[in-house]
Amino acid sequence: MMRIGVADTTFARVDMGGFAVDELRKTGTGFKIQRKTVPGVKDLPVASKKLLDEDGCDLVIALGMPGKDPIDKVCAHEASQGLIQVQLMTNKHIVEVFVHEDEAKNQKELAWLAERRTREHAANAYDLLFRPEQLTRNAGKGLRQGFGDVGPIG
């Protein structure tokens, strides 16, 4: 049985981990879920690595909500670099789901965006593990997670 890790933070203002678990359960079966919560996005790389190395996960969904200040952007960048590095060390996918506070025009939209992006990426995570051909079918289709798809051109 596959094992999917869910890593999230106490810094986020929405229970993104909860949405990820819920969406994964709705999407399919054949996997167990392992959850780990850390203070902020910069703690996600090692948390993800421990989920992959120590808890035997086959894929991790890493969830975070970086703030709107310049320092928050730097933290998110460092976290993303770390998450990519973990993937290269383990040869396993980490689906990064970051929602920046300044992507939304108010708190209501931010909560909506965080939930929707998390759910759409949980489906991507499922596809990466169980039906990669579904992703290839959508290659070049201009898909987005959260706000609407922009669609293909040309």
CA pair distance 107, 116, nearest whole angstrom = 14
5 binds a second copy (CB under 8 A): no
The enclosing H or E element of 69 equals: none
Buried b (16+ CB within 10 A) or exposed e, 97-107: bbbbbebbeee
Considering only residues 27, 111, 116, 130, which one is a binding residue for a second copy as defined by CB under 8 A? 111
Residues 28-67 that bind a second copy (CB under 8 A): 35-39, 42-43, 45-47, 49-50, 53-54
Which C-beta is closer to a second copy: that of 17 or that of 31? 17
Residues 68-107 that bind a second copy (CB under 8 A): 71, 73-75, 77-82, 84-89, 91-96, 100, 107
What lies within 8 Å, CB to CB, of 139 at 6+ separation is none
For residue 116, the minimal CB distance to a second copy (Å) is: 11
One-letter amino acid for residue 114 of the chain: A
